[in-house]
Each structure stands twice: as C-alpha cells, then as structure tokens.
A and B are shown apart, each in its own frame.
Chain A
Amino acid sequence: KVTDESGAGIPDVTVSVKGTTSKTTTAGDGSFSINATGANVSLVFEHVNFGTKTVAATGNTVTVSLSRAEKQLDEVVVVGYGTQKRGSVTGAVSTLKNENLEERAITRVDQALVGQLAGVTVKQNTGVPGKAFSIQVRGSGSISGGNEPLYVLDGFPLSVNSSNTTNGSFSTGNPLDNINPNDIESIEVLKDAAAAAIYGSRASNGVVLITTKRGKIGKMSLNFNTYAGYNQAAKKLEMMNGDQWIEHATEIINAQYLAKYGSAGATINDNQAQRLARNGGAFDANYILDPRWTMPGHPGLAFIDWQDAIERKGKMQNYEISASGGTDAVRYFVSGNYANQESFVIGVGYKAYSMRANIELNASKRLKFGLNVAPTYSITQDPGIDGKDAIFHQALSLAPVQEDTMGLYPNYGKNGQYVWSSTTNSPLGKLTTNVGTTKRYRTVASLYGELQVVKGLSFRSSVNLDNTDNISNGYTSYLTAGTLAARTFTGANNLLAATSGSYNSYRRQTFVNENTLTYSNTFATDHSLNVLVGYSYNFDRLDRVTMSSNGGFTSAVIQTLNAAAAVTGNTTSSQSVLLSAFSRLQYGFQDKYLLSASIRRDGSSRFGANSQYGVFPSLSAAWVISKEAFMKNARVFSYLKLRASYGVNGNNNLGNDYASISTIGSAGYITGTTPGAVIGQAPNVIANPDLKWEKSKTYDIGLDFGLLNNRITGSIEYYNKLNSDLLLNVPVLAVTGFASSLNNIGSVRNIGQELTLTSKNTTGKFEWSTSVNITHNKNRIVALGPGQTQIIIPNGFTVSDQILKVGEQLNSIYVLKVIGFLSAKDLASGVAKYGSGQAEGDFKFEDYNGDGVITEADKQIVGHPNPDYTYGITNTFRYKGFDLNVLVQGQTGGSIYSQLGRAITRPGQGRSDNHPASFVNRWKSPTDQGEGRFGKAYSTYNSPITAATDWLYSSDYIRVRNITLGYNLKDGLKMRFVQGARLYLTLENFFGHDKYINGLNPEAANTAVSSNSAYPESGDYGGMPLAKSFIIGLNITF
C-alpha cells in the first residue's frame, strides 16, 4: 500500500520492479500487488505529485509512505549551464514555480516575484502598468554601479541594465521588458557567490534564471485562459478639501497683509476695498481675499477633489492560448497572449502582445536541436504621470477650489487660472491632451544544438539574439502649457510656440554564443561526477536616437515632428564585448557528501586596458546529515542538509561602456570681428586603465531541513558579502586637470539571514499549507576613498538629505531633527535657530553640534531607505474543487525621505498649493500644537528649504498582494474533450496598510534627487499609487 504523510492511500502510483519491466498502478485506496522474486528486490514508486522513491522489498507486504517533499528533492533545479536535482544543490538557490501566475492580474515577471523568495527584494517603484520593478538580491552592495541582478532566460544571459537608475526608471530598457509572465515555467534565483559564480563578472548582484514552458511527450494539450476585471488606486491621499483650503488660504493672506501693512494700521478685518486702497489700488492675491469664500454656498466656485478627477476604474483583460505536446521526435510549446490594462489614471495604460514558440527536435538518437523564439510588442501610454512637477504631483498640489466656469480645466485652452490658485495647467487636461507613448518591439531568440559524443559526454552550442526596438514619442499641446495670455492669439504671439514634441528611440541588441561540454557519470554507484567546461562570446550594443521640436509647431493638428518649427536630433551608439571561459566540477558521494567548485575567467571591453581579465572562483560543499546512519532514528528530522560556500563574483555594470577611457568633451569659446562661437574640444575624463569590475566575496552557510516526515520543510541561510573595489569617483588633485577620477575603491558589507518555511498544516480533504519567507539584511559602508569618511550626496533641489558614511548604511538619511516647536520661552532664552527668520510655532531643530545655531552641520543620520526585514507569507487552502491562495507581503525597518513633502508640506508653503488633510492638525497656537508633524502655516524663515525629519516616514508596509479563489469545473462539466477547467477570482493588492501617511507608495521612486549620477539617489515626488485589481477568469484545457 502506498500512503501519503497523513496515512491516506494514494491512487495512480506507478509501481515497478527495479531492473525488470513488470509494472502496475495503485488502486483508489493506494493498494497494489506486483510479482517479484529473488533476493534484493527493489520497488520503484513514481507519482507525478510525489516524485520517485525506491524501496527494498522485504516480505510480501510493503507499505510505503510517499511525501510531496520527496518530489521536491528529486525536482530538477535549473542552475547556470545545466540542471541539478534539488537534493544535490550545494549553493543558495531559491525557486519560484508557476503555480497560479496566469491567474493573477500581472503583466510582468518581476511583479510575480514580489514577496515570494527569501533574499529577493522586489520594489514596485511606480503604479504605471508595464513599467519595470527594481530587484535586489541580498541587499545592495554598489554605490555608483548597478545593483540589479543578471537575468538568464532559458540559458541566454540577457544584457545587464547598463544605466544607473537615478530616477527609479530604466531609460534604456529592463531585461524583463515584454516577457510574458504566463509563459514562465519556473524562476530560480542564484543568491550566493558559489551558485552564481559561473556567471563571473556579472554575478555579484545575484543571477535570476528564468525557464519558460516546454512541451512534454504526449497528446497535445490546448489551453485557453482569459480574465477580465478592473483596477483602482490602492490608496488615496486625502488632501485638504475646499473649506479647509479656504480656511488656510485666509490665514496666510491675512498674515501676509498684516506683515506688509500692519504697521500702517491694517487689520485682518479690513474689507476688500480697504485692502485694495492700502495696496495702492492694485489687486494682489497675496493680500486680498476672495469675497466668495465667506458667502454661503461659495457661488461661482467649484470644489474639486483632483485625485477623483483624474482617476477611474480601469478595465483589464487578458487572453492567452497555448498548445503543447510532443512525440519522440518533436516537443513543442506555442503560445499567444494579449493583455490590456487600462490604468486607474485616465490616459495611462499598457497593452502587450506576445508570442512564443519553444520547439525541440531529436534529429537522431544523439543529436538534438531546439529553437526558442518570442516576438513581443507592447504599448505604454503615459503622458507624464510620475515625478516632480508631473501630473500626479500636480493633482495633489493643485488647489481644490477653482472657478466653476472652468471646472476641471483651469489654465487650459481658453480658461485662465483661478487667481488664488497656482499656474498649474489642468492635470486632467494634460492627461487627455498630451501624449507619451512607448512602443517596444522585442524578440528574444535562441537556437541550440546538443550532441551526445559518448555516453555521459555531451556538447552543446547555442546562438542567441535579443533585439529590442523602442520608440517613445511625446507631444505637449500649447493648450496645456503656459498662461492664458500665451494661449490667447494677439496677432503677435504664435500660440504654437508653446507646443512641443519629441521622438526618441533606442535599439538594444545582445548577441551571445555559448559552447559547453558536459561530462556526467556515476562510478561504482557511490561516486557521481559532473564536469562542465565552456566558452562564451557576448556582444551588447545600444543605438540611440533623440529628436525633439525646437521652436514650437506649425500645426495644431499634426503631432509628428514634420510639423515642428525646428527639430534638433542626435544619435549615439555604444557597445561592449565579453569573452568568457568557465568550468565547474560537481562531485557527490552517495548523495551524502556533495562538493562543487567553479571558476570563470571574463575578459570585458568595459574594463581598463591594464585589467581586462578577471578570474572568479567559488567552492561549495554540502552534507546530507539525514542520510547518515546515526540519523536513522532521529524521528523529528526527516531531512537535514548543511551547506557552506565561498566565492568571488564581479559587477561589471560600470554605467558606461567606456568608463576607463579619456574621452574628449566640448568647451567652446567666442572669437571673431563678428563674434561667433568656435568649437573647443578637450579631454573631459581622466583615463584609468586600471578600471575594473567591482568585486564581491561571499560566505554563505545554509541548512535545509524537513521535519515530522517532511510535513515542515525549509531552510535557514546566513550570508556575509563584502563588496570591494567599488566604483567611486575619488577626488584627485586638481593639477591633473580634473576634480575626480573613477576608481575601484571603497567597500560595503551586507550581512543577512533568510528563513524559508513550508508547512502542511492539514492534509486530506481539507488541505492547508503555509509558506513563509523572511529576510533580514543589513549593509554597512566599510570604506570610501582614501582618507574619506563620508560623501554627502549632492541634491538637485535644495539641501542634501542622504549621506554615504563609513560605518553606516548606504544612502543613510541625513537631515536636521525636528524636536518640537519653538515657544516664546525658547526664543527668549536664545535657543538655536535656523537663520534669522524663525518664530514661535516654527520647527525647533536639534542643535546636534551644540554651536548655538542651526546649520547644515547639525544634520544627523535618522534612518536608511533599505528595509531591515522583508517577508512574504502564502497560505494555500484546498477543499474539494475549491482552492484559495493568499499572499501577504511586507517590509519593516526602512524609511522614506519624502520629496513630495517639499511640494505639499513644506514650512511656509503659502496659500495656493494644497496640503494633505492632516495639515489641519498643524501647530495653531502654543496650546494647540496639533499632531506635531507640521509647524504653523505662516512661516517665513524657510530659504533655503531645510532638509529635516518632518518629511521622514517609515516605509513599513504590509499588503495582501494576492488572493485567488479557484474552482475546478471539470467535475461539473462532464465533457470528454475538456481535460480541465477552472474558474477563478483574484484580488490583487486589495488590502494593505503603510506608514507613509502623507504619500502614496512607500516604494515609489520617480525623481532623481541626486545631482550627481555617480551617487544615485531617487525619491518620491508624488508618484501615482499602486493599483488594486479585481478579476474573474476562466482557464480551460482541452
């Protein structure tokens, strides 16, 4: 009899006698009978869900217990340049299976990784559908170089993001663009140095191996999957409503009026005529109130909630059809997918068309060919929603009170602005009039052949091409630009001068040829050996074209640049070559003692002439303790494996293909009787022929375990990763002609722990299982340049708010600390102040250096952007035909320094821009200090704007990322040609809580804060919230 962990019989298990052809299957209760004679008979049990188990038959009755975990150990795991059984893995590898991916309303593969794997932190920087996420494997170790992992798609290493994500977006593409998540079979993340080291100079940030679906031998299976639903904003930031805004504006205007004319006898009770008279008869919204504010019903004014005005329920739909199957000669998987996501913001959306064919042919017994090809096309509509002064920021900032004759379209077309509001052009007008379209055509194709030279020795060669053509065109109409005066035709002004357009494109190509020789054999039953040697050639090229109007348009109806008054254009190209040789040896003794060693030598054109080649070795070992004789009786541990590894990896993401070379830049001058510009050219980069990869050395110790007959399985992981030779712009002596030089110097250490746990809480009719993953990561800057203890990240807006400091976390938040509000007593006692204009009710800052004044020198570290803990919990329930899957995910310990605060909660902000609704709880008087976050409304000290803790928020959040309820219709349908049918209902990101009280998305990154791309810092300047979606879908297999 064959039973599962709970003792229930398992039907349909194939039972065979080892070494013979006799075979049978178990009955409904798990019982079987088979004929076998002789000594040392072994029975092999096989089941699709329970894997394979071989048991020595003793006597006439054999009772075998199979567990799903057995299958896990037998599972094939994709590792670099090959596969391995899960049980033989010696490095830290996490796997994500496509369990219910196609039932989720997601359009990208990175989205599928959110909350799923320990050590893999996925940040959703934007709510714009189709846009790339940011992924970090085991923290970030690079300051100026890239922190994104290497992606390998079906063995094809894709181009690493070449540019730093200074503003949180990937301007020249992301490796996961356009890849259809529904085609994914599994994703493996190689986290430690040993697992990743086979990818050498690109492996430092981890390696993500993506495997797409392929056909299996058998009848064709045709699958049709569709869903439809809607999405909405997952969060709304309550801003002050019309009445609150009027109250605040009145307070500000009265204060300004008093400040100017108070000494001349003005009082806040002066009426409009008196105020006009004092202002010399000139109308000025700074001193004069709108009389309609105090009239009942505010005649002539419209109260507008701008978030409501630009949002909607966005419709979503997806259709996918796929066919797979195979014979001994051919195996195939083909699919087509159409996804259409309207965003919840009007005018924003994403459409994707994708196709894939994975075909494998057996040309002969020893020769195999395969072709994977995936043409895709996507269209993103985004008229400019995210970032500083972009539409969503403006929708938050714009006054909620407007003239009702203009309604939702203030300062648009023939409408002027409401005098007391700002000059912002209608956000809704921009969304409906302006164009920002990105069309991306990408094809990833691989052709490979595999020859079995002799038994155990095979040669594989592949050629791979990834080609992306990306075209972005933008159009901004004069209707949405400038002031009414500029939009009013007076005979002299050309309205269309304010119209602008752009057309930018890039082509990114990656060509890879890889050749590997693999020898795999088992000697004397106990010794298994796998040896790999390989050579690869990798070519990357990026060609960019930018064109934009320069001087307006000549037509109001034509949006292409042929109607531009003048066009400026530019093309640039860049390419790099990587040549690699690599080898790996894996040895196992009785599947008990496992050893793996690898080495790769990379030569890269990106490195300096003196250091073009790097060698990246690794070593790892594992001991399956549970196979030892002394563990036989340890009932609690059904499986126990200890792993340890060490390896050296590199990061070749220097941000520039030619960073080591002294290039020539422009520096013009004026000469001539008739003066004119003359071209000047001089070296603008100091050459560094020693420039090379960033290096990481990682120790990793892991324990895989199975408890209580594998009812609970999981692993614990510890790692210590030292990134050294960091690319840093080090100050050099000015006598060289330069201020800084890009050098390999400085180091950062990441230390972390990971826990993965899967528990089968109940089995039987009602199945409930829980998977948990928790990651803790902490990084520390160990060293910067010589003698350098800190680098204050230069800020593009006002004053800096982040620092790189030895001993502290990367990009620590470095600002003035608000410790309350200034009281009259403080002022009398001469407490430290910022500048001369601070008054009662303004922030009281901590005088950190105790010098009696508040200056930039009083800044202190108050937090760091990276979370300390990230976690994901998946609960799966099955009962009869129903199944329910719930994924909860979150993070704690990080902070967000909100640049949005500068827009909507800065001290002394003035009357026109709106504040969050919680601003009503500001300091109002010494006895009413509100909630403590905001000082008094009329504040005059703030120039320049301070960077202080009033814009600091915790980035902790918890989200119910996904709830999927499925029902198996098959039993009800009773149609022979239908093999399976499921109806499902999914809530994506529907519930959640975060501590970013005056912002929308604690992971948002949409604005470059740093003014120096060598020290990227991106921030949230009012990015749109994430979407929550509701879909209903149907999945039918024929």
Chain B
Amino acid sequence: CAKELQQVPLSTATTVTFYQQPSDFIQAINAVYNSLRNYPSRLMFLSEIRSDNIYPTNTVGRDPDPINNFAPGIASNTYVEEAWTADFNGIFKANVVIEQVAKNAAFVGSAALANRLTAEAKFLRAFFYFDLVRYYGKVPVIDHVVSDAEARTIKRGTVAEVYALIIADLQFAVANLPANYSGTFPSYSATDVGRATKYAAEAVLAQVYMARSGPNYGIEGPGLGLNEWNQAATLLTDIIGSGAYTFNPNFANIFSYTNQNPTTNKESVFSIMFLTGLNPVLGTDFPWQLVPNSYFSSLPTGNTPANGALGVPSVSTNLVNAYATNDARKSPTIHTTAFTFTGTTDANPFFRKYLDTTKIPASRFDWGINFIAVRYTDVLLLKAECVLNGAAGNQATDVDAVANQVRSRAGLLPIAGVTKAQLLDERRREFAAEGSRWFDLQRSGNLVTIMNAWIATEDAALKKMNQATANSVIYPVPQSQMDAAPGLYTQNPGYQ
C-alpha cells in the first residue's frame, strides 16, 4: 500500500520521467533558446537607454529613468532584476540539457546528436553568461543544476572565472556546432534555421576576447585589460573567409519584415527568432519598447492593441545630430517628424529601426520580426577594431576599406586613416537601436569621459542626470538576490 504514496503527475511530465527519446532532448534545447526571447528588449533598456543614444527629454518617474540618469538606487529596478533572473533561468535550462544528455546518453539516439545538443547548450550558456558579465561583472559560476540549498553556498565568481567557463563553452561550441543548415539529421537541416552555428559561436567568442581586452576602469567589470585582439581577429577572419555571409548593400533592407529569415538575410550571423500569430505567443515586443504609445494612437488606422510604451525617453539630440543630413541610415533608424494625437504634438525623436506600422500585430507582445543578435557588418567592423588595436592586418584593407564600405552604403564619402574614435562613431550610427552602444563604450575605455561630456551638453538645460563614474560601467546585483540570501553576495561598489 505504501507504494501508492509514490504518485506521479498524470497530466504533466516531470524531470524524472521526461527525458526518454531523442525528441525530448531536442525539446529541452528548444526551451533554452526560449530564454533568448527577452534579450532584444533588454538591450533597449540596459544598453541603449543607459548610453548617450537616449535622453529622457519628457519623461517623469518611469521605470527606465534611473537607468538613464545614473541614479545609485537601481538595484530593485525591473530591468536590472530581469537580466539576472532571465539569464540564469537560461543557464539553468542549458545545464539541464547538458546533464540530461550526459546522464541519459542511451536515450539520445546517437553520439552525434548528443554532441550537437551539448554544443548548442554550451553556446547558449556562454551567451547568457556573456550577457551577465557585461551587465554585472562578477556573477556566480553555475555549471550544473543546483538546488536551493547549494545555491546558498555559491558566491559570486571572479570575472576571470566567469570568462573561463564562457571561453571553454564557446570553444566546445565552435568545435562541435554545424556550420550551416544544409546537413541532415542529426546535423542541422532546413528546419533548424535559427539555431546557433559554428560561426555564431566564433563571433560571440571573438566578442568575448575583445571585451576581455578592454580596460578594467579599476572595477571588476567585463574589461580585463588583456591583449587578445589577435585571438578575436583570427575567429572573425574565419567567419569572413567562410563566405557564408554577405554585406547587404541596402541598409533599410537588413531590417525589413520581408527579409528577416537568416537563410535570405545574409547579414544575420545569429538571430533571435520571432513569429507572430501563434498561441502561446512567440512574437516579441522589442520593436516598440522605445516608441511612444501615442505615436501608434496617432496613426490613421488607430492603435487597437495599445502598442508603444508610456513615458518613453527620446533619442538624444546628440545622436540625431551625429548623422550627416544625407546619411541614408538616419531615416530608417530614427523617426524625427512630429506627430499629433488628441491635440498634443510630440516632436521627440524615437527609434524605429525594427518598426513597420503595416505589420502591427493583434497583440502588442506579438510582433513578428527577428532580432539580429550578430550582424555580418558587425563582424567586419569588429575585425577592423582588432586590427586598429594591434591585431594582424593592415589599415588600408582591413580598416579603411571596411569602414568605407559601411559609409558608402550610408551614402557617405570615404575617409582615410580611420582612427579608433572614428570607428566608434561609425559603429554608433550603424548600430543605433541594436543595443550595441553601451558595450562599445565599455570596450573603448572612454565610457566615463564620453558619457560625462555628453551629459554636460545634452543635459545642460534640464539637469536630470547624475554624473557617470567607473562604477556606472556595470549594474548593481539585483536587490531580490541580495535579499534572498543575505550576506552571500557583495554589492557592486557605488550602489546602495
């Protein structure tokens, strides 16, 4: 009779019963990709809003404001909380896959599939960790599924320890992930488009080496002041040399709703995939996170599902002015014309890079556009940056030629002898609204100077900003985590 006390759920699987056949493990890895879904919106809040691209001209007491104005008390901010919890949830799910594949190898079907799944899981684990280390610096290193009790014994690892796991994972991924989607099961076939490839892993690993090569600002942040530009350049060269990706001559087309699939959009080295109209929702909300709600209301068709956000901070004057008048990137990136709704005219510019008002979905959380997390143009420009920092290559072919290819697409005249500062500015115009700016500033070593110079002019009238300091380079550990196990984690300096 006592056996009867061992009841198992009749309508849900459990961690004990679920992992039985190859498709179960594939479903398990799919769930890890699911944790990428908030990545683009997070970039809007924690990278764009934090940077000199966005200024809160007309907002009052909204959630992103303290992120924008360098307030010290942001440990409880929703976005600061979200990044930590969502990334660690992704890491947990990746660890589940790695452990279950190892434990139940007999059920996975083939060693090749087991290898692929482990490589995907390790890629994603590294991707989440790289996100974490750039936002928070030191974080706990969790390479296996941990219980509540065990979690309470694991302190924040050093940045070097975090990177060690990231690099090991990405090296495994580079060695074991398929290069493209033209194989047959258990390699990637046409139905796998969107999964991480070898080149995605190389690109992220290159970014990791570059981030480590950035200066440390005297804090325990993502920069370690190492000189790994060469390692990064080698990986980027491999991607470029593969011929798998092409430079799209039409800037606006890169973000078009009709050119978003990674198989047609050769700018996409790695995309976060979204599709509208499904139940449960698998679309996204990032295209309107920095768009005012009233803009949608002002559209002739009206705005039934209430898209856009309230109290959106606007694109900074400094960024608007950073584009030459004839820069072909300006109009697809920033909406600068005023709109009127219920008698109120709003002239504040906002990002519209991924916005298409003919594609408004039935639910505002269900926009059907992929987000390009690693863009081929970025691969080219990152390589140029490595060369400028001393990696093998030359100024004319590896730096100037690349920068001018980008400038030419934007309708701008070529320049010669491109400097690091010019490259940083070009990146700002090219990748505005793609969440790259804060990390570019981190890596440049000039984050604090650039931000404070910008504050001095942009904020001269309204005086809404605090000064940026080295501590502002990273975010505080979320308050929920400080509270859940008091004394376990120490807070980053500069935060309450």
Task: Give A117-169 interface residues, CB cut-off 8 Å to B.
Answer: none
**A739 contact set on B, CB distance < 8 A:** 85, 480
A681 within 8 A of B: yes
Taking CB atoms and an 8 Å cut-off, the chain A residues in 640-678 that contact chain B are: 657-658, 661-673, 675-678
Residue-wise, chain A 669-694 has the 8 Å CB interface mask toward B (1 for contact) of 11111011111111100111000000
B60 within 8 A of partner (CB): yes
> Within the complex, which residue of B60, B85, B152, B263 is in contact with A673, where a contact is CB–CB below 8 Å?
B263
Residues A669 and B24 in contact, CB atoms below 8 Å apart = no
List, in ascending order, chain B residues with CB within 8 A of A836's CB: 60
Residue of B whose beta carbon sits closest to that of A612: B5
Question: With A687-B15, A735-B146, A787-B483 known to touch, is A605 a contact of B192 (CB < 8 Å)?
Answer: no
A664-B12, A677-B282, A733-B152 known; A605-B5 Cβ under 8 A = yes
Query: Which single residue of chain B is at the shortest CB-CB distance from A688?
Result: B148
- Which listed residue (B4, B32, B481) contacts A734, Cβ 8 A? B481
Among B11, B16, B195, chain A packs the most CB atoms within 10 A around the CB of: B11
Contacting B at CB under 8 A, from A590-615, are 603-605, 609, 612
Which residues from chain B contact A680 at a C-beta distance below 8 Å? 27-34
Is the C-beta of A708 less than 8 angstroms from some C-beta in chain B?
Answer: no
- Of all chain A residues, which has the CB nearest B181? A673
Q: Mark B77-98, 1 if CB is under 8 A from A, else 0.
A: 0000000110011011101100
Q: Determine whether the beta carbon of A677 is less than 8 Å from that of B192.
A: no
Q: Which residues of A contact B9 (CB under 8 A)?
A: 574, 657-658, 661, 663
Q: Which of B160-168, B271-279, B384-392 contacts A (4 or more CB under 8 A)?
A: B271-279
Residues of A within 8 A of B36 (CB): 669
Max count, chain B CB within 10 A of own CB: residue among A603, A612, A681, A688? A681
Tell whether A576 is near chain B: CB-to-CB under 8 Å. Answer: yes
Interfacial chain B residues near A576, Cβ < 8 Å: 7
Collect the chain B residues with CB atoms within 8 Å of residue A663's CB. 9, 12-15
> How does the 8 Å CB contact mask read for B105-147 relative to A, with 1 for contact and 0 for none?
0000000000000000000000000000000000010100111
Chain A residues with CB under 8 Å of B299's CB are: none
Within the complex, which residue of A572, A612, A670 is in contact with B273, where a contact is CB–CB below 8 Å?
A: A670
CA distance in complex: A661, B485 (Å): 23
- Rounded to whole angstroms, the CA-CA distance of A574 and B278 in the bound complex is 28
Residues of A within 8 A of B154 (CB): 735
Task: Say if the beta carbon of B306 comes within 8 Å of chain A.
Answer: no
Indicate with 1 or 0, residue by residue over A790-814, a CB within 8 angstroms of chain B CB atoms: 0000000000000000000000000
Inter-chain contacts of A735 with B (CB < 8 A): 88, 91-92, 140, 142, 146, 151, 154
A571 contacts across to B, CB distance below 8 A: 11
Given contact pairs A577-B7, A680-B33, A675 touches B152 in the complex (Cβ within 8 A): no
Interface size range on A against B: 35 or more
Q: Provide the A557-570 mask, 1 if CB < 8 A to any CB of B, else 0.
A: 00000000000000
In the bound complex, residues from chain A placing their C-beta under 8 Å from that of B16 are 661-662
Contact between B193 and A573, CB atoms less than 8 A apart = no
Q: Of B37, B84, B89, B478, which contacts A737 at CB under 8 A?
A: B89
Most buried by A among B84, B151, B280: B151
Which single member of A661, A672, A738 contacts B190 (CB below 8 Å)? A672
Interface contact B15-A664, CB-CB below 8 Å: yes
Task: Decide if A20 is an interface residue (CB 8 Å cutoff).
Answer: no
A189 to B274, CA, bound (A): 58
> A579-B4, A603-B5 are contacts. A737–B88 as well, Cβ < 8 Å?
yes
Closest chain-B Cβ to A791's Cβ sits at a distance in Å of 12
Tell me if A537 counts as interface (CB < 8 A to partner B).
yes
Least CB distance from B190 to A in Å reads 4
User: Which residues of B are found within 8 Å of A577, using beta-carbon distances?
Assistant: 4-5, 7
For residue B297, give the distance in angstroms from its CB to the closest CB of chain A: 15
Could you mark each residue 255-269 of chain B with 1 if its beta carbon is under 8 Å from any beta carbon of chain A, else 0? 000000101000000
Residue B221 interfacial (CB < 8 Å): no
A682 in contact with B11 given A612-B5, A671-B273, A731-B484 (CB within 8 Å): no
State whether B481 touches A733 (Cβ < 8 A).
yes
**Closest A residue, CB atoms, query B25:** A681
Taking the closest CB of chain B, its distance from the CB of A380, in whole angstroms, is: 27
Shortest C-beta distance, A1012 to chain B (Å), equals 15
Complex interface bits, B175-199 against A, C-beta within 8 A gives 1, otherwise 0: 0000001000000001111110000
Interface string of A836-850 (1 = CB under 8 A from B): 100000000000000
If A681-B28, A732-B148 touch, whether A671 touches B191 (CB-CB below 8 Å) is yes
Q: Is A741 an interface residue (CB 8 A)?
A: yes
A574 near B92 with CB under 8 A, answer no
Interface status of B321 (Cβ within 8 A of chain A): no
Q: Does B243 contact A (CB under 8 A)?
A: no
- At the interface, yes or no: A60 with Cβ under 8 Å from chain B? no
Q: How far is the CB of A278 from chain B (nearest CB, A)?
A: 11
A260 at interface (Cβ–Cβ under 8 A)?
Answer: yes
Q: Determine if B93 and A737 form an interchain contact, defined as CB atoms under 8 angstroms apart.
A: yes
Q: Which of B5, B12, B34, B273 contacts A667 (CB 8 A)?
A: B34
Q: How far is the CB of A559 from chain B (nearest CB, A)?
A: 25
Query: Does B343 touch A at the CB level, under 8 Å?
Result: yes
The residues of B that contact A677 with a CB separation of less than 8 Å are: 275, 278, 282
State the Cβ distance, B80 to closest chain A Cβ, in Å.
12
For A537, give the chain B residue with the smallest CB separation: B1
Q: Whole-angstrom distance between the alpha carbons of A737 and B343 in the complex?
A: 48
**Most chain A beta-carbon contacts within 10 A, residue among B14, B37, B146, B280:** B14
Decide if B413 is an interface residue (CB 8 Å cutoff): no
- Judge whether A575 is part of the interface by a CB distance below 8 angstroms: yes
Q: Tell me which residues across on chain A come within 8 A of B480, comparing CB atoms.
A: 731, 734, 739
A835 CB to nearest chain B CB (Å): 8
User: CB-CB contacts of B481-496 with A at 8 A, as 1s and 0s?
Assistant: 1011110100000000
List A contacts of B347 (CB < 8 A). none
In whole Å, how far is A324's beta carbon from the nearest beta carbon of chain B? 38
A576-B7, A663-B14, A738-B89 known; A681-B151 Cβ under 8 A: no
CB of A829 closer than 8 Å to a CB of B:
no
Q: Could you say which residues of chain B place their CB within 8 Å of the CB of A671?
A: 30, 33, 191-195, 273
CA distance A545 to B3 in the complex (A): 28
Given the complex of chains A and B, what is the CA–CA distance between A333 and B192 in angstroms?
71
Pair B275/A679 contact, Cβ less than 8 Å: no
Q: Does A633 contact B (CB under 8 A)?
A: no
User: In the bound complex, do residue A668 and residue B194 qualify as a contact, i.e. CB atoms below 8 Å apart?
Assistant: no
Q: In the complex, A661 Cα to B96 Cα: how many Å?
A: 16
Given the interface pairs A661-B8, A662-B14, A673-B263, the reply to whether A679 lies near B27 with Cβ below 8 Å is yes
| Residue from the list B5, B18, B37, B148 in contact with A604, Cβ < 8 A | B5
CA distance A576 to B14 in the complex (A): 16
| A609, A612, A664: residue with the most chain B Cβ atoms closer than 10 Å | A664
Q: Are A670 and B275 in contact (CB under 8 A)?
A: yes
Determine whether the beta carbon of B484 is less than 8 Å from that of A733.
Answer: yes
Please indicate the chain A residues that have their CB under 8 angstroms from the CB of B26 in the complex.
Answer: 678
CA distance A605 to B478 in the complex (A): 37
C-alpha spacing A605/B481, complex, angstroms: 33
A736 at the interface (CB under 8 A from B): yes
Q: Which residue of A lies closest to B24 (CB)?
A: A681
Instruction: State A609–B6 Cα separation when bound (angstroms).
Output: 8
Q: Chain B residue with minimal CB distance to A678? A: B30
| Contact A732/B31 with A663-B9, A670-B194 known, Cβ cut-off 8 Å | no
- B10 interface residue (CB < 8 Å to A): yes
Q: Given known contacts A664-B15, A671-B192, what 16 new A-B pairs fall within 8 Å (CB)? A: A260-B343, A657-B7, A658-B8, A658-B12, A668-B31, A669-B273, A672-B193, A675-B275, A680-B32, A683-B93, A734-B89, A734-B478, A736-B88, A736-B147, A736-B148, A738-B89
The 9 tightest CB contacts between A and B, nearest first, are A737-B92, A680-B31, A680-B30, A682-B31, A667-B34, A670-B273, A605-B7, A572-B11, A667-B31
A interface residue numbers (CB < 8 A to B): 260, 537, 571-577, 579, 603-605, 609, 612, 657-658, 661-673, 675-683, 686-688, 731-739, 741, 787-788, 835-836
12 contacts across the A-B interface (CB closer than 8 A): A605-B6, A663-B15, A667-B30, A667-B31, A668-B30, A668-B280, A671-B194, A675-B261, A675-B275, A678-B26, A734-B85, A735-B146
